[in-house]
Chains A and B, each alone.
Chain A
């Protein structure tokens, strides 16, 4: 039995089920990160003193990571646009670039974390580091998850293009929505943690 409304839109919503599904999921993700942002504000406003992020964290590395993640968002949307143009090989190039940018982000984050651990800066050290590790760690897991999905569509999942290109294009669009959301979260995390 075929999964309904993967290609054709529902008459009542004007959308495919996949599109609704990914947006509902992203809504729940907003609340997940929102709870942590609320915790951050509460802890910070309640603290007698709070360090500036740039006195404890590596701003140049985080700036590079911001550029990397924004670039990955562009390659992701270009991958989708390539499918819309019917250019599968170009899609592969852009999607491969997105995965590599994601990997670069995590490698840079690894070096950041390693340097902190080497200096004895652990989550248990103080509240600032606790919320820093929690937020960036959760975000890093999202990058990892997004990379796994993107790698699937770059590799084995791409078989769908041969049998149902519209469905495949939609699936890539939905994966892209998640990836852009991860970029969006970082856009707020970067100034909040590193610059203020």
Chain B
């Protein structure tokens, strides 16, 4: 195995696609980002637990918890899962998934709401 061998990283989606020269510097940059994201996730976990101790009213507590969880989830998806620099097809798949996910979450709840959607 040689460096050149692995240099042709199959995905081609990341700036870090090789092991030598400038690419090695790119990997180092990525590693620094991973560490920063890790610290951010730890801090946000502490925030989540701390806020829950204030025993806020349920709607506010749910909102705050979901906002923090969404930020944490976005960090994981964008940086650890490399979604910040993916191909369009992956974005298309995820956009379709998001639509179906929203319908999946919302539809059953419309059936029990007092709205005008479904009775």
Contact = CB atoms under 8 A, between A and B. Distances in A.
A16 interface: yes
A165 B80 contact: no
A148 interface: no
Interface stretch (A100-108, A109-117, A132-140, A180-188): A180-188
A190 B87 CA distance: 31
Interface residues of A, number: 62
Nearest to A14: B87
B13 to A, nearest CB: 8
Nearest to A18: B10
Interface residues of B, number: 58
Interface string A65-102: 01100110110111001011110000000000000000
A158 to B, nearest CB: 12
Interface of B: 1, 3, 5-6, 8-13, 16-19, 24, 27, 30-31, 34-35, 37-38, 41-42, 45, 48-49, 52, 58, 61-62, 65-66, 68-69, 72-73, 76-77, 79-81, 87-90, 93-94, 96-97, 100-101, 104-105, 107-109, 112
Given A70-B45, A76-B80, 9 more contacts: A9-B11, A16-B11, A23-B93, A63-B49, A81-B31, A165-B1, A173-B11, A187-B69, A196-B52
